[in-house]
Chain A
Amino acid sequence: MKATWKLAWAAVAALGFAALVEADPVAVSDEGRRAQAPEVAVGRDGSIHVIWLDKGAVGAADRKGKKMAGMQHSHQAFASLMYARSVDGGQTFGAPVRVNHSDGEVWGFSISKSSLVVDTDGRVHILYPANATSSTTGLDVASSAYTVSTDGVTFSPAMMVNTDPEDDLSELVSGGLAQAQVFGTLSTGAEGAIHAFWLDTRDMNAEDKLSSLFMRSSNDGGASWGPERDLFSGDACPCCQVTSTVSEKGTVYVSARKVSGEKIRTPFVAASKDGGDHFGPRVSTGGKPWQLDGCPLKLNALATSGNHLYSLVHNGAEDPPGLLFARSLDEGASFEAAHPIHPGADVSDSPSLAASGARVVAVWHAKEGGPRAVYYRVSNDHGARFGPVMRLTQGEAVVGYPEVVKLPDDGFALVWQQDERIMYRALALDSPPMDGAP
């Protein structure tokens, strides 16, 4: 295996592509716990912040389920959200702390991720899907809960960023929930701006209305929040996670999937150049029309650098189904033709992107004739060309759900799930300019 790696590195170096110096992976979550769906963010001071879902101790399944079944409760996904921080550049992580105040409060599974951002003052903001009771109907709902930590140890009591609609849509919403305001994301802009986005069922009906894309913003670091707003009403894929990012110039981007015609699910990006007050039209990030009367549960990974916006998203209409990369050179007004990021894969999914200057790092999990592994590619020219597909993880472990983030020193950091533990690894890129890479 070592010889294979050496050959691979030699080939990469010979081709002049991005060479990568990888530190050893570090376990972030505790052994013996079922950890899933990691997210990572980096503070201005270089501190590294990781959250993940905790589904309980290994082998201790069903505890919540039995309890809730006895209560005839309709929530189906019980988890807690854990947080850990590294202040030594990812060499070690502190003991995990629980974000939610009540055990099992999180409506979570590996493809329903929570979101975190670290603002310029070092505060850690988190949005997670919560099992909740509607304040208006008293019925079971899933809501978007927000919490913040100033010390990385304790978190504020959860605040639901969405209001509770009055309608009981339990015949339409899955699992008997009366409403669902979930699959959300956070992004942070300049001067304390925090934007929360989520998919909202309140406009849904049995005829022609699906989910709506809602948002709510805070301009004081989460201390107070403006009113919630219905950005795109009634045609959003109800079970496709929302993503968002903010450029250095302050342009706010949000992405979800629009459903049109015969259940065509098109990933789109909408941009706001006034700090989230108004959004422009939804622009498709490309790919073949994907017709599906089902749950894709596929997010559109975004990253931005200068006027460039990058998108990496799964398309089930491709053969084989996989991830398509596309870039916009005009702040999301249009996208160049999308192309597969991993053409040789049997299937690729779970995308993540990070960008710094001209460099773009794409990370995902895929199968290439063997066990699922984490792969990446690096571009040094704003996503015009990428180096070869590189495999990050080896062996037979069950790995996946990677996330990548830019570090202050222009390096990048990765987290992923490996046999239900959360792993961290820094990537220090040492790469000459690319010349003629496909």
Chain B
Amino acid sequence: MNGLSRFRLAWRTGMLCLMVSVGAWASSPVALIDAEDMRAQLNGHQGEVVVLNLWATWCVPCIKEIPDLMTLESELDSRGMRLVAVSMDDPADLGAVEAFRARHFPEFRTWLRGEPDMDTLVSVVDFAWNGILPTTYLINREGQVARKIQGKWSLDEFRTAVEILLD
């Protein structure tokens, strides 16, 4: 192996480590999301079916629903479903929300609203949101809200509704 090959190998190894570490970072800690980021996030998923779930640490039905949403994601990820979860807890409580996530759902990837007012963030997808949690939006491949779900749903209910959009 000449010097150039060794350099390439080292560079590739370094990049791989970086990607793995970035991937691990991106899949775990809670991060703040504001309205602009939300718009970009959803635009980035054009062509996929997005399950946008609004939850909060103080909302029992939301917390009961999280394992089902994670299962749904693992089942339908390969078919183009993306779960985008956003905690509606206060942005000032970022550390506490992260502690909650790490303690109860370590594999759960979620954002935390970065806007002081909940409605500012949710208005990106729903102008007339009425503050109910959980609220889940099923967004089709064209980026349109195909269904608004308020209250806890079962895994079967989600699966049936999302598969219609995936087909």
Contacts and interface: CB of A to CB of B under 8 A. Distances in A.
Interface in B110-142: 116-120, 127-135
Contact of A400 (B90, B91, B117, B152): B117
Nearest to A298: B131
Interface in A393-438: 398, 400, 420
Interface string B87-101: 001111111111110
B128 A76 contact: no
B94 A316 contact: no
A398 B128 CA distance: 15
Interface string A277-300: 000000000000001111111100
A329 interface: no
A372 B63 contact: no
B143 interface: no
A72 interface: yes
Interface stretch (B14-22, B44-52, B54-62, B71-79): B54-62
A349 B130 CA distance: 7
A295 B62 contact: yes
B108 to A, nearest CB: 14
Nearest to B132: A294
Contacts of B8: none
Given A239-B58, A349-B130, A78 B120 contact: no
Interface of B: 32, 56-63, 89-100, 103-104, 116-120, 127-135, 150-152
Given A176-B103, A316-B130, A372 B58 contact: no
B96 to A, nearest CB: 4
Given A294-B133, A321-B130, 10 more contacts: A55-B92, A62-B93, A64-B92, A69-B95, A109-B90, A175-B63, A176-B104, A294-B134, A295-B62, A322-B130
A209 to B, nearest CB: 13
Given A64-B96, A77-B58, A296 B132 contact: yes
A112 B56 CA distance: 13
A76 B96 contact: yes
Given A72-B99, A174-B63, A239-B59, A295 B92 contact: no
A106 to B, nearest CB: 12
Nearest to A60: B92
30 contacts: A55-B90, A64-B95, A65-B97, A66-B95, A69-B96, A73-B99, A74-B99, A76-B93, A172-B60, A175-B57, A175-B63, A176-B104, A238-B60, A239-B60, A292-B150, A293-B61, A294-B132, A294-B151, A295-B60, A297-B131, A297-B132, A298-B131, A316-B130, A321-B130, A346-B128, A347-B128, A347-B129, A347-B130, A367-B127, A420-B116
A193 interface: no
B68 to A, nearest CB: 12
Contacts of A110: 117-118
Contacts of A298: 131
Interface string A307-327: 000000010100011100000
A322 B134 CA distance: 18
B62 A34 contact: no
B60 A346 contact: no
B137 to A, nearest CB: 14
Interface residues of A, number: 54
Contact of A294 (B91, B92, B150): B150
B96 A316 contact: no
Contact of B59 (A294, A346, A372): A294
A82 interface: no
Interface of A: 34, 55-56, 60-70, 72-78, 109-112, 172-176, 238-239, 263, 291-298, 314, 316, 320-322, 346-347, 349, 367, 372, 398, 400, 420
B92 A56 contact: yes
B60 A174 contact: yes
Contacts of B134: 294-295
Nearest to B102: A69
A248 B28 CA distance: 56
Contacts of A349: 130-131
Given A56-B92, A69-B95, A69-B98, A316 B61 contact: no
A175 B62 CA distance: 11
Given A62-B94, A238-B60, A297-B133, A69 B99 contact: yes
Given A239-B59, A321-B130, A420-B116, A75 B150 contact: no
B30 to A, nearest CB: 10
A367 B132 CA distance: 16
Nearest to A210: B60
Contact of B116 (A176, A320, A398): A398
A65 B93 contact: yes
Most chain B CB neighbours (cut-off 10 Å) among A109, A110, A172, A346:
A109
Contact of A78 (B93, B99, B118): B93
A320 B130 CA distance: 10
A294 B152 contact: yes
Nearest to A345: B128
Contacts of B57: 76, 174-175
A292 B58 contact: no
A77 B93 contact: yes
Contacts of B129: 347
Contacts of A75: 96
Nearest to A68: B96
Contacts of A55: 90, 92
Contacts of B117: 110, 398, 400, 420
A346 B93 contact: no
